[in-house]
Amino acid sequence: MRATTRPLPMAADLYGDIEPTPKARFQDYLPGLTIVVLGTLAAGFISDHYGAPLTLMALLIGLALNFLSADARLTPGLAFASRSLLRWGIVLVGVRITFGQILALGPVALACVIVTIAATIGIGILAARRLGFDTAFGALAGGAVAICGASATMALATTLGERRVGQAQLTLVLVGISAMSACAMVVYPIIAHALSLGDLRAGFMLGASIHDVAQALGAGYSYSDAAGQIATIVKLTRVAMLAPVLAIVAMFLPRGDGTARGVMLPWFVVGFFVLAGVNSTGVIPTAVTHLAQQAATGLLAAAVTATAIRSPLGQLLEAGPRPLAVIFIATIAALLLSLAAALLIIG
């Protein structure tokens, strides 16, 4: 196998800004997609025969195959699966949702999400200052945890500019976010089960606290279908908050010589809500709904498998503890805030 050194760690790259879309022919996608399909099918076999959550098995199998990410021949297929399949899986999840379910969350849940995002970013900044870093690094780490992981990291880094956030700091945040989000997908559902949370509270806690979209949805559906639906709504609400957060960061933190790039509401979030709206009318036949749900499950599982294969867990050994401590503190803050909201307010 021919190995290559990647300049940045890869994760669930929703916006396509962590790396450019590989220019490849159709056959170039086949090696990586073959690995993803085989890993996802293995996860499905274990899930069907032993009752284990599909997305959890996809994560564990992907992590077991993590060494394959060094093979450059697999990069186009893995990138396509971890990005494009995830986007379309999110869109198809809209068939599982109706506006009635979204409205059932209520304004209180929305307020809790906004407060959790703001508090997590604030705690990230305070932790960074306490540990000897500047406000920009705290905003980068806290915002990555609060919103949508690696994609928020890149958007925030673009807004802050290279004078405020160096390449080394950016890489470290991407590594930490990828690793902690993968761990959260495994650990947080266990916490929810230990606390005997209902589907609504568990779904809110998982959707409001886990970093990357793939892991948040994976954790939700590993808990239950109902919890997965709630986690999807809550998580995509956090994703939609990226644009106003970027505007606030650009307003209060100087950019150096960086150029802020406008970020609109992602198309897959729009597609999710459009499909949920159509589903709310009841015009989609039951058979089509069932097929779309199965397709969404398969696409999300494949995306989780690919994301786990590409997660740069080994790079964590090269980093010192202080920068990762900022990400860890923000992660714990998001977990505790979302858990408190779920227990005291939601439901």
Q: Which of 54, 64, 59 is nearest to 82 (CA)?
A: 59
pTM of the model: 0.66
What pLDDT does 101 receive?
Answer: 64
Backbone angles phi, psi at 71, to 5 degrees: -85, 115
Average pLDDT by stretches of 10, the chain with 347 residues: 45 51 73 92 88 73 84 87 80 75 76 92 93 87 86 71 66 76 88 92 93 84 88 84 77 56 61 82 84 84 81 60 87 94 81
Tokens of 110: 């929305």
**3-state secondary structure (DSSP) of residue 3:** strand
What pLDDT does 1 receive?
Answer: 42
Q: Which of 322, 279, 218 is nearest to 95 (CA)?
A: 279
Find all residues with CB under 8 Å of 289, minimum gap 6, and list them: 95, 279
**pLDDT digit string, tens, across residues 25-83:** 778 889 999 999 999 999 999 988 887 767 668 878 887 888 888 888 888 888 888 77
**pLDDT digit string, tens, across residues 224-238:** 888 988 898 898 888
